[in-house]
Chain A
Amino acid sequence: MNLKAIFNVIGILLILLSGILLVPLAVSLYYADPAPIHQWTPQAAFLASCIGSGVTGLLLWKLLPSGIEKLREREGFVIVGVAWLIITFFGALPFYLTGICPQFVDAYFESMSGFTTTGASILTHIDTLPHGILFWRNLMQWLGGMGIIILSLAIFPALGIGSFQLFKAEIPGGATVERMKPRLAETAKVLWKTYLVLTLAEIVLLMAGGMELFDAVCHTFSTMATGGFSPHQASVGHFNNLYFETVIILFMFLGGVNFALHYNLILGNFKVVFQNPELRFYVLMIVIAVAVTTLGLAHATGDSLEHAFRRAAFNVVSINSTTGYTTDDFNLWPDYLRILLVVIMMVGACSGSTSGSFKIIRVIILFKVIVRELQKLIHPRAVVRIKVGKKPLPTDYVMNVVALAGMFLGLTVTGCIALAWMGVDLTTALSASVACLFNIGPGMGQVGPTANYAALPEAGKWILILWMLMGRLEIFGILLLFLPVTWRK
């Protein structure tokens, strides 16, 4: 294990983070945020985090001359895993220093929930928090959505040597994601540019409907990242505005689509986009889920179809794209609809998007593996290749998907048992485990849309922090950090 190279790269990332921290500092200065509770002012807290991250970064970068040309696969995973842990630490500092989160675990939870675009929060009375802090929560989501390491690949192409490992370890969907350009740095740039264009589009559309700049920017950041933090306690329900909801539904949906497809759309390759099996599945799943939910809600609550449709569409798309905004307390929905929500939570959206979760492409592959097993029973000597679209998949990759499915289920159950053991009720324990591992945000029961994660026991929060990170980096990369063999020379 080449520790020097690992920490050298992490140094560069921290320098980048320190630069980014200047943005919420500026926001905080602009709004002249007061100190919340006899603690540091937000401005001082951001400055301290910025300096802390910058100095640590410079030290790591300068003291450990690089050998990054020769990154092996496992070093890529270790860099990404360790970098996320450290970046989350510096991201948590503003919450801790301002005293908004008196417990460090809460600050770290909020920061991890931000960067992993989960959107689970431990904060209460969100509307009263300083602007800088609110802005930082949503900026973290926006950065984490496309990936801070991929951002650094786009900005510092010098890192590009051997960094396919880094790219693969961070992009949601892992090895399925296709390169759009021969050079990774260029691919990273295309991804971020597409992301930027969509972000600007949403800000403009929201403001055109009369939303204030600050709210528009914050909501856009967490919509595009399919994160789900809102600067309002009541989330998007705060506005009770059909136009805003429609725009946000559209962009939550887009955030869950593979960014390579957005790029193809911009290039005019419509055929590639519309024939994409993952996108078709995504659309179909949303249509069915919205239809079922609309009818279910209308039937159960006696709501008009039109109003039920509005509630269903927003919350289903929000959950399916793993955003986690709410306009309604789906905790009060009939049980079968709540279970349906948990199921679409676990399926998630497309690979190569900013969404969390298991990803549709993997569900398709799992389904085909099952079909293959059945075919093998009927024709024992048949040669059946697993294909998505017209593309056959290598066996290694199929095995990886099956193993990942096992891991996702195993961790869900482990998390659920651990939380229940700490005295959390079953609905809360199970949904918290799923909502964090699959990067959704709000769960059911005590962690439902109107409540939050503040009341959970501390040990439970640490587990969920780990779950969020594993969900975002797709488990194996983080598990690797815990294996002694990884660290052996």
Chain B
Amino acid sequence: MNILIVGAGIVGFNLAQELSHEGHDISIIDADPEKIKLISEKLDVLAVRGNGCLPSTLIQGRIRDAEMVIAVTDKDEINLMVCFLAHKFEVKERFARLRNMELTGESQVFKPEELFVDHAINPAEIIIDSILKIIKTPGAVNVAEFADGQIFFRGFDVPADAPLAGKTIEEIREVCELNAFLVVAIVREGKMIIPKYENRIQAGDKIYVLVDHDFLPLILPMLNRQVDEIQKIIIYGASQIAVHLARELNEFISDVSIIEPSLEKANEAADTLEDTVILHGSGTDPDLFNDINMKDADLFLALSNNDEMNILSALLAKKHGAKRAAVITNDPDYLPILDSIGMDVTINPRLITVSEILKHLRKGQVVNLYKLIEGEAEVLEIVISAESAAAGRLINQLHMPEHSIIGAVLRVDGEMVVPGGSTEILEGDTVIVVTLPDCIGKIEKIFGKKSSFFS
């Protein structure tokens, strides 16, 4: 497929990279000559320097041949304009990142479709959603949902005293008579393993599980996580995400405070938020941390737009006694170190945006996709159609590649089956697959149409 991407920031670059590897023909437009130079040296794509709002630039970027336009510049206005122009050039599918929540949230005065945006992607909404889920799942460091919320995907740290620690996957399956969840990935020392029966879970690992939503409370004791209620949350940075999140949090948590270094922004936040305490100060000020009793904080969220300040303030907050810390970092290059310096939850809005867009693009019957930070693994939700090569076969007949696993099978009647070798895949099933990137091509073949490999 010919795809035109406007905006060569982190999102644009990553999308171009992924999509070009998957065999799409990519053109990318950006106004910054440095970015264009970098991208044309690193990727096999057509890179055009220019203003994406100008039809002439878009023509240079081959918009006439494009079947899809993805507008991911910094500015919502430009993204809207690009989609409008793309409509004039009769491009079939148009994506835009719209960060302004008034354009996409509940209070919107128009639908994005009215401005010719087929798919509006707001990373902020997704981030707020996942932070709320993390808060509601004690101990979880990573959350996603599949099959319309039927199946939960959760990541947990394994403490030393957890009943699971030291057990192999096989032993866990024997002990747990309910058979309602499966460990689909283990992260040990920054490396992701797709576990086999004989792999052992160790204290200090991070594990990812797929679990039926009804059974989530039952697995928490196995990880020795009590449902300890979060009572005090401190947020650094009065960003758009922080303000919207605080408003949602106030519904069920009384003690929410936001630290904001800019007086102007602090005032703005104070104007819109009723029940949140807004503090004007630095995110790295120990005195301020003492004043607001950081040692009692159950969760510290660093949500400002500055990666470095987020990391520093979260480190300091943990030092001052905050029980858990979550940080937002935009630069994916920081991700490998965040885990090793003790960040409990890391959120990357860029990767979230990329996976939202990829979800729509994956070949085959992939209906949902979630990108994990470690090892760039992906969780795919695949609906088995009648033409699928996998329909009607047992799992051990599928010859799944080594770095991938079928984590859950959801039958048409809503029953979740924890898959084993003898589980049969039926037409209409929803299958959740966890895979490292080197196996994505094989997965597509296994679940694709019998004859023509999705062509």
13 further interface pairs, Cβ-Cβ under 8 Å (given A165-B41, A182-B27, A185-B44): A160-B44, A162-B42, A164-B41, A164-B44, A179-B46, A181-B46, A182-B2, A182-B25, A182-B46, A183-B20, A183-B25, A183-B44, A394-B33
Binary flags per residue of A155-189, CB closer than 8 Å to B gives 1, else 0: 00000111111000000000000010111111000
State A161–B42 Cα separation when bound (angstroms): 9
State A186–B42 Cα separation when bound (angstroms): 17
B25 A73 Cβ-Cβ under 8 A: no
Q: 28 A–B contact pairs at CB < 8 A?
A: A73-B41, A160-B44, A161-B44, A162-B42, A162-B44, A163-B44, A164-B40, A164-B41, A164-B44, A165-B41, A179-B46, A181-B25, A181-B46, A182-B2, A182-B25, A182-B26, A182-B27, A182-B44, A182-B45, A182-B46, A182-B62, A183-B25, A183-B44, A183-B45, A184-B44, A185-B44, A186-B25, A394-B33
Q: Could you say which residues of chain B place their CB within 8 Å of the CB of A163?
A: 44
Q: How large is the interface on A (under 10, 10 to 19, 20 to 34, 35 or more residues)?
A: 10 to 19
A408 to chain B, nearest CB (A): 25
Residue on B nearest A167 in the bound complex, by CB: B44
Chain B residues with a Cβ under 8 A of chain A: 2, 20, 25-27, 33, 40-42, 44-46, 62
Q: Which of A175-221 contact B (CB under 8 A)?
A: 179, 181-186
Dominant secondary structure of chain B at its interface with chain A: mixed
Residue on B nearest A168 in the bound complex, by CB: B41
Q: Could you say which residues of chain A place their CB within 8 Å of the CB of B44?
A: 160-164, 182-185
State A344–B363 Cα separation when bound (angstroms): 54
Smallest CB-CB A-B distances: 4 pairs: A182-B46, A182-B25, A182-B27, A184-B44
State A161–B17 Cα separation when bound (angstroms): 11
B21 to chain A, nearest CB (A): 8
B198 to chain A, nearest CB (A): 29
State A161–B46 Cα separation when bound (angstroms): 14
Residue on A nearest B23 in the bound complex, by CB: A183
Q: Could you say which residues of chain B place their CB within 8 Å of the CB of A182?
A: 2, 25-27, 44-46, 62
State A162–B45 Cα separation when bound (angstroms): 10
State A162–B20 Cα separation when bound (angstroms): 12
Binary flags per residue of A384-396, CB closer than 8 Å to B gives 1, else 0: 0000000000100
A154 to chain B, nearest CB (A): 13
Q: Could you say which residues of chain B place their CB within 8 Å of the CB of A161?
A: 44
Q: Could you say which residues of chain B place their CB within 8 Å of the CB of A394?
A: 33
Q: Could you say which residues of chain B place their CB within 8 Å of the CB of A179?
A: 46
Q: Which of A125-159 contact B (CB under 8 A)?
A: none
Q: Could you say which residues of chain A place their CB within 8 Å of the CB of B20?
A: 183
Residue on B nearest A160 in the bound complex, by CB: B44
Residue on B nearest A70 in the bound complex, by CB: B42
State A184–B44 Cα separation when bound (angstroms): 6
State A82–B27 Cα separation when bound (angstroms): 32
Q: Could you say which residues of chain A place their CB within 8 Å of the CB of B42?
A: 162
State A161–B45 Cα separation when bound (angstroms): 10
State A417–B300 Cα separation when bound (angstroms): 75
Q: Could you say which residues of chain A place their CB within 8 Å of the CB of B26?
A: 182
A79 to chain B, nearest CB (A): 15
A266 to chain B, nearest CB (A): 16
State A181–B44 Cα separation when bound (angstroms): 10
Q: Could you say which residues of chain B place their CB within 8 Å of the CB of A181?
A: 25, 46
Residue on B nearest A396 in the bound complex, by CB: B37
Q: Could you say which residues of chain A place their CB within 8 Å of the CB of B27?
A: 182
A72 to chain B, nearest CB (A): 9
Most buried by A among B27, B40, B45, B46: B46
State A182–B48 Cα separation when bound (angstroms): 10
Q: Could you say which residues of chain B place their CB within 8 Å of the CB of A185?
A: 44
Q: Could you say which residues of chain B place their CB within 8 Å of the CB of A183?
A: 20, 25, 44-45
State A97–B52 Cα separation when bound (angstroms): 59
Most buried by B among A160, A165, A179, A182: A182
State A182–B23 Cα separation when bound (angstroms): 11
Q: Could you say which residues of chain B place their CB within 8 Å of the CB of A164?
A: 40-41, 44
State A113–B326 Cα separation when bound (angstroms): 65
State A160–B43 Cα separation when bound (angstroms): 10
B50 to chain A, nearest CB (A): 11
B233 to chain A, nearest CB (A): 43
Q: Could you say which residues of chain A place their CB within 8 Å of the CB of B46?
A: 179, 181-182
State A186–B20 Cα separation when bound (angstroms): 13
State A73–B2 Cα separation when bound (angstroms): 27
Q: Which of A258-312 contact B (CB under 8 A)?
A: none
State A184–B26 Cα separation when bound (angstroms): 11
Q: Could you say which residues of chain A place their CB within 8 Å of the CB of B41?
A: 73, 164-165
Q: Could you say which residues of chain A place their CB within 8 Å of the CB of B40?
A: 164
State A186–B45 Cα separation when bound (angstroms): 11
Q: Which of A433-480 contact B (CB under 8 A)?
A: none
State A164–B40 Cα separation when bound (angstroms): 8
State A161–B41 Cα separation when bound (angstroms): 11
State A186–B25 Cα separation when bound (angstroms): 9
State A73–B451 Cα separation when bound (angstroms): 41
State A160–B20 Cα separation when bound (angstroms): 11
Residue on A nearest B26 in the bound complex, by CB: A182
A150 to chain B, nearest CB (A): 14
Residue on B nearest A165 in the bound complex, by CB: B41
State A73–B27 Cα separation when bound (angstroms): 21
State A420–B381 Cα separation when bound (angstroms): 75
A173 to chain B, nearest CB (A): 16
Most buried by A among B2, B33, B44, B45: B44
